[in-house]
Structures are given as C-alpha cells and as structure tokens.
Amino acid sequence: MGDALVSRLAPARSVALAALVESERGGAYVREVLDAMPRARKLDARDRGFAMRLALGVTATTGALDELLDAYLARPQKVSVRVRTALRIAAFELVYLGTAAEVAVSQGVELVRSQAKSAAGLANAVLRRVADAAAGYLAADGVDADRRPLVSMARRAGLPLWLGEALVRSLGAEGASQLAHAQLMAAPLAVQMNPRVHTVPAIGGDPCGLPGALAGVDGPRLVASGILDAADAVVSDLNAQLVATAATRPGTCLEIGAGRGTKTFMMAAQAARAGYARDHVALDLHERKCALNRERLELAAMERIETVAGDARDLDGVLAAIDGRASERILFDTVFVDAPCSGTGTMRRHPETPWRLSAREALWDLPELQLELLRQASGRVRPGGELIYATCSVLGAENDAAIDAFLAGPEGSRFCVRPVSDAAIFHEEGFQGAAALIRRWESERGLFQSVPAPQAYDGHFCARLVRI
C-alpha cells in the first residue's frame, strides 16, 4: 500500500519537469515558463508552490547536480534532455531538500519512466547511488584538505567553483559564506509606493526607515491587491531602493540603463517626497523596455520624464535630438549609470544566473563595458554634479575595481569619491533613517556594498562621484 502511494507520480514533479525542459530548450526563464503553464495553474496552492520550488532549485544548482549525476552515469553524453532533467529533479530533492531517499528515488524513477520507460532501471540505480553519496558530495569528501572548505561552500550553494572563488576574493570568507548559505532560500520582498497612495492595501510588510518602502511584503497578497497593475507601487529589493534614493537629486538627471523603469519610478517617487523639481531622461538600449517604462510612468502620473532608446557607449549620438532642441550639448546635474552586470547579488531571485554566467563575462567582459559606460557618462556631468554608478553585483571586478580603473584614467581625474550616505536627499526631513541603512553597508571610502544573507536583502553596489 505504502509502496503504491510512493510510486504514484506527484503532479507537481511532472509540471516542474515540463517547465524545466521548455526553459532549457527555449532559453526562457523557468519562473516565467511555469507561470504561463495552464497545467501549473490547475494545481492547488501547495502543489504549485512545490513545483516552483523544484523548478527554481534545479535551475540554480544545475551544474552541481550534473557533476554528481555524471559520476554514476556510464555514458552521460547519451542521456536525453528529458531524462537528465528528470534525474536532476530527484537529485535536487536528495541533495538539497533532504527528501526521504525512498520517496525521492521512487518518484525520480517514475518521472524518468514518464519520459522513457526503458530508462527506469538506469534511474533507479543512479539515484540510489546519488542518495548514498549526497552527504559526502556536499562535504567535499575526497577533495584536498586545503580546498575542501571552498569546494564544500560552492557545492552547498549549488554554485560553479569559479564563482565561489570569485565570491571569496570579493567578499572574504565570511561574506561569501553568508551569501552561499542564503543562495537557495527565498529572498524577502519589498515594494516602493507611489506617493499618490495614502492608504496602503493589506499586503503585509512594515515601514523600514526609507520613505515609501514596505519591507517583508506578502507576495500573494501583493499580487491580489492589484496595486502593481495600477502603478501604485513597484516591487524592488530594499537595497536597490536605497541606491535609487541616493541617486535622486534636484535638477536634471540622465539615467543610463533604465530598463523597464523600476528605478525611474522610485527616483520620481522620492523626488516628490523630498520636494525636488527634476527633469529626467531615462535611457535604455532597448526600445521595448523604454515603451514599458513610459506606460507605467503615464499610469503612475509621473511627469517630466523622457525615455530614449540607444547605446550608451555613444551618448553624443543617442542624445543628439535632446542636444538639438537645446541648441547645445547638455550637461546634467546627475548622471546615474545603472550598469549591466553579472547579477551575482540577486541570484536568489534569478536562478539562471550562476550557470549561464561565465567567468570571462563576469571578470573581464562586463568590467570592460562598465568602464566604457563610466567614461562616456562622465562627459555629461556638469561641474559640481554627481556621477552615480550602481550594479546588482557583489564581485569586486565590477564594483570597487571598476571605480578605481575609472578614477585612474583621464576622465576620472575630474571626479572624487564621496560617501553614498552623505547624498543630499539623506539630509532631507524623513530620510535620515535611510542614511543609517546605507551606513550599515558602507566602506571607509564611502562605497555601498550590500551582501545577501539569510533573511537579508540582495547584494547591490553604489558609488557616488562628484565632479570637481
């Protein structure tokens, strides 16, 4: 009787398998695939949550799961995508969820059988060996003693070893360990409210010292409230909200890398609270994202913001029309570079990141692009103005090192670093508590670098450079 119940394939696992296969074949984000699946919507809340947990967890730990599975597969390269994905789901349960071995193996065999009946025996043999080896794999048994702590940390977080090494170099052993410990946990949810909203719906969450921010919001209640669709609020990590607030100043602003406009919205909201008069140009490479930004700003009744599409590596070309209207080359009071980055500070929310990201991209290609953007942006800052540089990375190559490289060049010679917590808005009434939140993560140089940890928000970097 018990065996029969165990062998009956749980629908949540079947749905997770379908979402993972579609995501891998099409390159789409697995969360979006699962959200769009009719089969997933038919599950009850508990099963839907379990399917999401499996899909996100397998995505975040794919390489680690494959490393373990391949040790027990005679011909790893011959295993089909569907069978391998089914094996990954069972292995994830065994290694990272602590599911009872008899359940995880039995369900894994049935999951494989649903894709290839002939592979059920293989699945049974491989998964039983994975169950026996899981604890030793996480502990990095068999690895040289001097490498064991690093390898174990990377495996427990499901991260590539090169990324674990980069995290230790950037954050130190303790910071990297905190990030790794939180990697497979759900990240807390925060929102920034539109200042026009005076009565907040029952979405959970509490004020946290930053005007307009609610921390610890309940996700389902937030979605059900409809305030996101009405542009009465935006979802944003609390540390990202602090960065956007620090970049909010009176006068003219050029925002580079605006994306769909979450920070555009938040800067406009904080400017309204501070009583700042501003004219804002929001620039992004993609016209589609600019259009989404405009739509939300119009719905939010936020004005004096212009969106522009173009490549920020050629700012003079992108801003030619704006310069033409003014009959001069415009310089801005604030230029905010929200740079494309590795996203290593937000991996809990974007599980595709660790295994789609390469060491070359994170440690060389992106820093080169970020330095080029900084150099271009610096030429549009008026004397006495500010250049704000931000990433959602925790890697030193994209953050401190990028700032040092910029300051060492001819463009950077006109700028000096000033503490993020001393930005003008943090001296305004009601914003002093936000300055205290900034200082928790501020270095002696005045650079802001938060680090993910259990129950804590994401990893974001911000540097505030004043033109002399």
* DSSP element (H, E) containing 267: helix 262-274
User: Quick one: pLDDT at residue 422?
Assistant: 98
pLDDT in tens, 68-110: 999 999 999 999 999 999 999 999 999 999 999 999 999 999 9
The residue type of 432 is: Q
Confidence band for 7, pLDDT divided at 50, 70 and 90:
low
What does the alpha-carbon distance between residue 409 and residue 404 come to, in Å, rounded to a whole number? Answer: 9
Residue 453: per-residue pLDDT: 96
Residue range 157-181: mean pLDDT, rounded = 98
d(CA 351, CA 56): 6
pLDDT digits 0-9 by tens, 261-318:
999 999 999 999 999 999 999 999 999 999 999 999 999 999 999 999 999 999 999 9
Q: What percent of the chain has pLDDT over 70?
A: 99
Amino acid at 229: D
Secondary structure class of 331 (helix, strand, coil)? coil
pLDDT of 354 strictly over 80: yes
Q: How confident is the model at residue 1 (pLDDT cuts 50, 70, 90)?
A: very low
Q: Which of 23-37, 237-251, 281-295, 404-418 has the lowest mean pLDDT?
A: 23-37
Kindly tell me if the per-residue pLDDT of 4 is higher than 60: no
Average pLDDT value over all residues in the chain: 96
Average pLDDT over residues 138-161: 98
Residue 416, strand partner residues: 466
Structure-token match 């620039």, residue found:
283
Give the tens place of pLDDT for each residue, 109-121.
999 999 999 999 9
Residue-level pLDDT at 6: 53
Residue 2 has pLDDT above 50, yes or no: no
Distance from C-alpha of 21 to C-alpha of 18, rounded to nearest angstrom: 5
pLDDT at 320 over 50: yes
Can you read off the two tokens belonging to residue 53?
């947990």
- Output the pLDDT for position 5: 44
> pLDDT at residue 406 above 60?
yes
Q: Taking residues 361-367, what's their average pLDDT?
A: 98
pLDDT tier for residue 8 given thresholds of 50, 70 and 90 = confident
